């Protein structure tokens, strides 16, 4: 009769109990959560505290910038309002000054008006023509002084080079002895006000003769 062969426990599906316990212990060891060390927790709290302090500082800076912005905007609006008020005040003062100057000018002009009226009355009286002429000349001189006082300058370009910026030519003539246009007669004087043209002078202008050609096409 053959001997019974020793059976391998793994062949019959049998696993010793000790191996099962070891496997369960190993699995429990892998799935058990790690516990944080006291040192790691303190470090995390320190970083959170530093972050909160940084956020607080940044918020303080933001609040300061906002306050400075609001202050600047308030100052800008106040300055803008002051500038607008200053502009209005200057405009009003300018208008008042112009009215004052115009009133003063008209008062001076009325004095000349009175003198002209006296001269007209003198013409109908027994005064001599010479005395009347002397009175008119005095009035004319008074008017010239008034114009100079208000910076009105006479523009008399007689025998001066023609300047279209200040002169208006009403007529012209050719002359042999000149090379550039020349004012030879003033029909009406011009005037400047504050060195700017108030009225151009009306003039007659002499110009160089135009070049002529003979019948052969040669210049004379």
DSSP assignment, residue 134?
Answer: H
156 and 146, same domain (yes or no): no
User: Are 143 and 197 contained in the same domain?
Assistant: no
The answer to whether residues 77 and 170 belong to one domain is no
Q: Are residues 79 and 143 in the same domain?
A: yes
Residues in the chain: 220
Helix, coil or strand: residue 126: coil
Query: Taking the model in full, what pTM does it have?
Result: 0.51
Cα-atom radius of gyration of the chain, to the nearest Å?
56
Question: What digits encode the pLDDT tens for the residues 106-128?
Answer: 788 888 878 877 777 766 656 66
Domain, as residue range, for 56: 48-150
Please give the tally of structural domains in the chain. 2
The CATH number of residue 136's host domain is: 3.90.20
Q: Which residues of 111-147 are buried (b: 16+ CB within 10 A; e: fewer)?
A: eeeebeeebeeeeeeeeeeeeeeebbeebeeebeeee
The CA-based angle 45-50-51, given to 5 degrees, is 95
Q: What is the three-class DSSP state of 106? A: helix
Q: What pLDDT shows up at residue 97?
A: 79
Per-residue pLDDT reduced to its tens digit, 157-205? 999 999 999 999 999 999 988 899 999 999 999 999 888 898 999 999 9
């Amino acid at each position: 009769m053959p001997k019974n062969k020793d059976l391998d426990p793994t062949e019959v599906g049998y696993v010793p109990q000790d191996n099962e316990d070891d496997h369960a212990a190993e699995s429990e060891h892998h799935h058990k959560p790690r516990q944080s060390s006291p040192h790691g927790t303190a470090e995390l709290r320190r970083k959170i505290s530093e972050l909160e302090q940084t956020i607080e500082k940044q918020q303080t800076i933001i609040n300061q910038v906002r306050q400075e912005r609001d202050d600047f905007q308030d100052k800008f609006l106040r300055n803008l309002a002051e500038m607008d008020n200053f502009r209005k005040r200057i405009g009003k003062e300018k208008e008042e000054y112009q009215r004052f100057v115009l009133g003063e000018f008209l008062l001076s002009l009325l004095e000349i008006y009175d003198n002209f009226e006296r001269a007209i009355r003198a013409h109908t009286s027994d005064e001599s023509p010479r005395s009347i002429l002397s009175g008119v000349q005095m009035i004319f001189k008074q008017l010239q002084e008034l114009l100079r006082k208000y910076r009105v300058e006479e523009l008399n370009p007689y025998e001066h080079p023609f300047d279209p910026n200040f002169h208006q030519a009403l007529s012209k003539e050719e002359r042999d002895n000149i090379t550039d246009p020349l004012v030879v007669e003033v029909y009406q004087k011009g005037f400047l006000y504050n060195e700017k043209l108030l009225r151009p002078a009306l003039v007659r202008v002499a110009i160089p003769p135009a070049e002529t050609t003979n019948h052969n096409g040669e210049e004379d």
